[in-house]
Amino acid sequence: MTDGPAPLGVILLAAGREEALRPLLIQLIVIILAARAGAVVARWLRQPSVVGEIVAGLLLGPSAFGAWAPGLFAAIFRGGSGGAGGGVMEASLTSFSQVGLVLLLFLIGIEFDFSHVRRQGRLAGAISVAGIAAPFTLGVGLALLMAPRLDALGASGPVDVRAFALFMGTAMSITAIPILGRILIEMGMQHTPLGATVVAAAACDDAVGWTLLAAVSALASGHFEGGRIVQMAAATLAFAALCLFVVRPLLLPILERGVRDDEAASHGRLSLGLLSLLLSLLLVAAWITSWIGIFAIFGAFLLGASLSGSPRVREAVTGHLTDFVTVFFLPIFFTYTGLRTNIGSLGTPEAWGWCLAVMAVAVLGKWGGCGLAARFGGLPPGEASCVGVLMNTRALMELIVINVGIDLGVIPPPVACMLVLMAIGTTLMTTPLATWLLKGSQYEPILVARGFVRG
């Protein structure tokens, strides 16, 4: 083999690969800039920046950008003609979005101080039970009322009423831990008793919700087995115990020592070797829960939660990952979801009436059920109602569930759009209502310092 200029064929091959890369680069530029613009507008409106990023992602989809400028939209996001190039780009966005969710859930887990839950574990448990039972029951009831009208709402074929009802109940039961976590972090509430209790309750809700989703998916596909569901729950609990009682005692001292020994030189950051070890374990945890059947993101959250409680490690890890995840990965996930959402499928007054019913049932189940449980648990009225509002956050975790339902043929596209609007509506109402309910409470100074309440 001799050194020398690259053959012309190699150069042309590289140029061809670059041609496939350039459209993806354009997509990423548009997505990142749109997300930042949305975040700025959201903060100006006293909303968390994540709300603006979500709305920006949806506006880039067919519901807005695709309707206003279809040619430009197709050129950017559909590969011009929507051929193979568009499919490759969509697959790339899918992969980026899933990796971003895994990293985000890990950061959410490690950011929270769960020591308060030891004193309020019973309260968090009661809130969690109410946050599943009330919305699930109401969702099933609404689905049974809606089922006879599915053909009129645009169902393209017969729908299994039992699977549809169970799916609607499951969709109503989800709380969006990633978005709830980011809202609490931006509000400065992540280290408070209220914040820790809400996140603990939401984590339990989502664990049950993902298990229900797996059961409904098995039922819809004709492979439901009660024993399999029990095995899934047992495996999840075993993995959580492994993270808490094995991984934490072994890994946390290593991370703390690594940060402390080189703190002056590294400014409190992890070495590249320790960061590689941590990221590898994170991906292993995500793979394990994906293999169990409750989705990779939950494994990331469990690992992060098992490493929480050490301010030094938390600051080192978040210093490495938070900014890049926030600026790069999350906007991709929001936009990818927006590309699969088309609000134009709601075309009749009856469809909009059912949409309002979906929103009302969702809010009543979560806000009402969790708020009452928190009040009976001893919280003051304002704080108890705030718990219900925070647990009512659904955001794009709901959209993950919706996409599963569409792929399984359990819900028709118009019903999916109703759930999308419910997810966005319940998220948009979270911060204004939560800050209003916490005025005059012990948490008001924190909100004033973060700019959510005027001093």
For residue 293, pLDDT beyond 80: no
Average pLDDT over residues 62-66: 86
CA distance 393 to 439: 20
Q: How confident is the model at residue 24 (pLDDT cuts 50, 70, 90)?
A: confident
Q: How confident is the model at residue 113 (pLDDT cuts 50, 70, 90)?
A: low
Return the SS3 of 163.
helix
pLDDT at 12: 42
pLDDT at 427: 87
Return the SS3 of 62.
coil
CA distance 77 to 453: 39
What does the pLDDT look like over 424-455, one tens digit per residue? Answer: 899 889 988 998 999 888 888 888 888 777 76
Taking the CA of residue 125 as centre, how many other CA atoms within 13 Å lie in the half-sphere pointing to its CB?
A: 5
Q: How confident is the model at residue 399 (pLDDT cuts 50, 70, 90)?
A: confident
For residue 403, pLDDT beyond 90: no
- Asked if residue 154 lies in contact with residue 183, where contact means CB atoms within 8 angstroms, the answer is no
Phi, psi (rounded to 5 degrees) for 44: -65, -30
DSSP annotation of 392 reads T
What does the pLDDT look like over 337-364, one tens digit per residue? Answer: 788 777 777 778 888 999 999 999 999 9
CA distance 62 to 59: 8
pLDDT at 308: 85
Catalogue the long-range contacts made by 12-18 (C-beta closer than 8 Å, 24 or more residues apart).
none
Which carries the bigger pLDDT value, residue 207 or residue 261? 207
Q: How confident is the model at residue 160 (pLDDT cuts 50, 70, 90)?
A: confident
3-state helix, strand, coil in the chain (%, to 5): 80, 0, 20
Poorest-pLDDT segment among 279-283, 336-340, 415-419: 336-340
CA distance 152 to 353: 13
**Tokens at 135, concatenated:** 């919305």
Which range among 43-47, 58-62, 357-361 has the greatest average pLDDT?
A: 357-361
Letter for the amino acid at 244? L
- Around Cβ 258, how many Cβ atoms within 10 Å? 22
- Asked if residue 109 lies in contact with residue 308, where contact means CB atoms within 8 angstroms, the answer is yes
Tell me the pTM. Answer: 0.76
For residue 243, pLDDT beyond 70: yes
Structural domain boundaries in the chain: 102-306+339-449
Please compute Rg for the chain using Cα positions. Answer: 23
Q: What does pLDDT average to over the chain? A: 82
Q: How confident is the model at residue 13 (pLDDT cuts 50, 70, 90)?
A: very low
Q: What is the largest CA-CA distance in the chain?
A: 80
Label residue 408 exposed, middle or buried (CB < 10 Å: 0-12, 13-18, 19+): middle
What does the pLDDT look like over 194-228, one tens digit per residue? Answer: 888 888 888 788 778 777 877 777 676 655 566 77
Distance in angstroms between the alpha carbons of the first and the last residue of the chain: 73
Return the SS3 of 394.
coil
- Pick from 448, 445, 452, 387: nearest CA to 196: 387
**Tokens at 282, concatenated:** 């994170």
CATH number (3.90.550.10, 1.20.1530.20, 3.20.20.150, 2.60.40.2300) of 102-306+339-449 reads: 1.20.1530.20
Phi, psi (rounded to 5 degrees) for 365: -65, -50
For residue 77, pLDDT beyond 90: no
pLDDT at 83: 46
For residue 248, pLDDT beyond 90: yes
For residue 263, pLDDT beyond 60: no
- Asked if residue 162 lies in contact with residue 184, where contact means CB atoms within 8 angstroms, the answer is no
